[in-house]
Amino acid sequence: MSGAPIRLAAGRLLNLVLDKKRTLDDALATDDAYNNLDGSDRAFARAIASSALRHLGWIDRGVSPFLSRPLSATGAEIRALIRAGAAQIWFMDVPHHAAVSETVEAARLWSPARSGGGFLNAALRRVTESESPAATISPLALWPDWLASRLGSAYGREAAEALALSQLEEPSLHLSPKGDGARVAEATGGTLLPDGAIDIVSGAVETLPGYAAGDWWVQDAAARIPAQLLSPQTGERILDLCAAPGGKTLQLAAAGADVTALDRSRPRLERLKENLARTGLHAEVIIADGEAWAPPALFPKILLDAPCSALGTLRRHPESAWIKTEDDVARFPGVQARLLAAAAGMLAPGGTLVYCVCTPVPAEGVDIVEAAIGKGILTRSPVKAEEIPGFEAALTPAGDVLTLPGTGGKHDAFYIARLIKPA
Ligand SMILES: C[S@@+](CC[C@H](N)C(=O)[O-])C[C@H]1O[C@@H](n2cnc3c(N)ncnc32)[C@H](O)[C@@H]1O
């Protein structure tokens, strides 16, 4: 059977994401051409779209010399198929003749792309004759220019390049155990990591042993650090201020804390409740705006996992760098600063607050924390290396945690600070 419908589905997914600004998960859930494919064909279409998104900056720069008009001036559907074709040729183990002919055939199946078949064919033939851009174009070109320049100036070229290259990795699957981690590692065939997460090599989540019994939940190894830095104790009142879908709430509840899980998103709180039900854990769930909520009593400990650009999770969501604009990202620091000030107001004097974001953008992380410290609202409680086993290299000179590539295993990029409210 022809592979053209697979390339058509990949092109449609790319068109939905890059031209209509939908997330890849949303496009996968809703596109009929993709959903009508059989299992293995569907997986292949998804792999092509995912590879094109991971390598997008390289693909767009790499194909431009081969086009008689700029990519941006090309019809959206042909643009999507050029990207799908180039991903197969440069970054996937697909025979070149099949990648070209099936992708050109896909243009014939897609009416808005039909007239561009000759242009597509010529471009992809040139791609087959050329070296992969991985050999010639800087890793920073994997990102839009604004992001490359921000992270390049924040961390230096070498660290920023390592961060960019880390988005090419398939994301790892990490589990957090409800109880004994060694037992979960044995049951699932995973490896127990130094911080207590379980690294799973492969397997569909729902089919892994212990899923239905609620013995564990999916959580990146770096995402476990914020709750661990609160040292939750049995019966201790802890507020999880931006809680849904609840990975950190589950950690705190599993440690025996008396958790209040607050979030303003009803659908996300439904997921949190499902996670509590599956694991048999308990938390008081509150739907409210964290900037305005007035607690019945001050809390001795608070976790603030603030809304952020999520640019530390590009391995899982490679499209994020392209569908979020610099203006979108610029909106977060205001929200984060207001939530941190509100959280400080809900904290008892002498109490501990952990602030975290899953982004390496300093304006959303260390800058927010330094501003609060500068105002005298909070002081820093520096983290010690022995508190973050496996992530010792992520400790910053100031005593915060920044999980860039190379500071642990394969994980998301988190910024985490532990703070105290002056008594
Ligand atoms: C990074 S996510 C939290 C992830 C969660 N802590 C976990 O571990 O699963 C940020 C959350 O903040 C919530 N949020 C954003 N603005 C908020 C506000 N003003 N008040 C309460 N929740 C808010 C979002 O709905 C989102 O669920």
Q: State the DSSP code for 170.
A: P
Tokens of 26: 């949303």
Annotated catalytic residue: which of 358, 366, 378, 388? 358
Residue from 218, 213, 180 nearest 199 by CA: 218
Question: Using a 6 Å cutoff on CB, does residue 263 contact ligand 1?
Answer: yes
Cite the annotated binding site for S-adenosyl-L-methionine by residue number. Answer: 242-248, 263, 289, 305
> Using CA atoms, how far apart are residues 237 and 258, in angstroms rounded to an integer?
5
Q: What is the pLDDT of residue 1?
A: 59
Q: What is the pLDDT of residue 407?
A: 80
Q: What is the pLDDT of residue 241?
A: 98
CATH fold of 4-133: N-utilizing Substance Protein B Homolog; Chain A (1.10.940)
| Per-residue tens of pLDDT for the chain, all 423 residues | 589 999 999 999 999 999 999 999 999 999 999 999 999 999 999 999 999 999 999 999 999 999 999 999 999 999 999 999 999 999 999 999 999 999 999 999 999 999 999 999 999 999 999 999 999 999 999 999 999 999 999 999 999 999 999 999 888 899 999 999 999 999 999 999 999 999 997 778 988 999 999 999 999 999 999 999 999 999 999 999 999 999 999 999 999 999 999 999 999 999 999 999 999 999 999 999 999 999 999 999 999 999 999 999 999 999 999 999 999 999 999 999 999 999 999 999 999 999 999 999 999 999 999 999 999 999 999 999 999 999 999 999 999 999 998 887 789 999 999 999 999
Tell me the average pLDDT of the chain.
Answer: 95
Q: What is the pLDDT of residue 124?
A: 97
Residue of the nearest CA to atom 15 in ligand 1?
A: 307
Question: Using a 6 Å cutoff on CB, does residue 305 contact ligand 1?
Answer: yes
Tokens of 384: 């010690």
Note whether ipTM > 0.90 here.
Answer: yes
Say if strands 173-177 and 216-218 run parallel, antiparallel, or are unpaired: antiparallel
Q: What is the pLDDT of residue 387?
A: 97
Domain pair 4-133 / 221-420, same fold: no
Identify the CATH number of the domain defined by range 221-420.
Answer: 3.40.50.150
Domain regions of the chain by residue span = 4-133, 221-420
Burial code (b: 16+ CB inside 10 Å, e: under 16) for 259-284 equals bbbbbbeeeebeebeebbebbebebe
> Using CA atoms, how far apart are residues 110 and 183, in angstroms rounded to an integer?
51
Q: What is the pLDDT of residue 263?
A: 98
Distances (CA, A) of 51 to 22, 34, 78, 134, 298: 17, 16, 17, 13, 48
Question: Using a 6 Å cutoff on CB, does residue 226 contact ligand 1?
Answer: no
Q: What is the pLDDT of residue 189?
A: 92
Would you call 240 helix, strand, or coil by DSSP? strand
- CA 244 – ligand 1 centroid, Å: 6
Q: What is the pLDDT of residue 406?
A: 80
Q: What is the pLDDT of residue 128?
A: 97
Residue from 105, 120, 167, 121 nearest 140 by CA: 167
* Alpha helix positions (H), 189-331: 225-228, 247-254, 266-279, 320-323, 326-330
Instruction: Give me the count of residues in the chain.
Output: 423
Would you call 7 helix, strand, or coil by DSSP? helix
Tens digit of each residue's pLDDT (9 = 90 or more) over 231-269: 999 999 999 999 999 999 999 999 999 999 999 999 999
